[in-house]
Amino acid sequence: MVSILLPVLSIFQRTTLHNRRRTLALSVILTGLLVVFTNPVFAQPPAQLGDAVDIIENIIKLLAPAAAIAFLIMLIIGGFQFVTSGGDPKAAGAARTTLTYAVIGIVLVVAVWLILLVIKTVTGVNVTNVQIPPGP
């Protein structure tokens, strides 16, 4: 029994050694190509705080359209699930849950937006506008 397994084990060991050599050679070649063909990186001016403010403003501007798109997608998915449920109570329940979550999500987004508008009206401060006060 052992004499039958020895040639198989030696072939496995040679293959593993061959794969290790091939992997090592490939990694050396790829590292060399990376060193040769990459562009040098020069020092850039440090990032300003205004850059972060611009990013935050862009995210805030995209939240309402993203919520509307997510609501539309969830509405379509829930409707498709409901139509394809075929009278199965579990599938119809899952579709109803998807539709319920979609409606709850859009109601929450609209409620938050209305709260922000009330804060703006009462205090006069535009809370959706991100500004960093100037330093001393």
CB 114, CB 128: distance < 8 Å? no
Closest among 72, 54, 51 to 62, alpha carbons compared: 54
Instruction: Please state, in angstroms and rounded to a whole number, the distance separating the CA atoms of residues 89 and 114.
Output: 37
pLDDT at 84: 92
Closest among 100, 104, 78, 102 to 91, alpha carbons compared: 78
Per-domain residue ranges of the chain:
1-42, 49-123
Other C-beta atoms closer than 10 Å to the C-beta of 109 total 17
Mean pLDDT for all residues in the chain = 78
CB 82, CB 96: distance < 8 Å? yes
Long-range contacts of 110-117 (CB under 8 A, 24+ apart): 113/64
Q: What does the pLDDT look like over 27-57, one tens digit per residue?
A: 778 777 777 777 776 767 766 666 777 777 7
Q: What does the pLDDT look like over 59-89, one tens digit per residue?
A: 878 888 889 999 999 999 999 999 998 889 9
For the segment 89-103, the average pLDDT, to the nearest whole number, is: 93
The 8-class DSSP code of residue 84 comes to T
pTM of the model: 0.54
For the segment 111-119, the average pLDDT, to the nearest whole number, is: 88
What confidence tier does 134 reach under pLDDT thresholds 50, 70, 90?
A: low
> Is residue 9's pLDDT more than 50?
no
The 8-class DSSP code of residue 127 comes to T
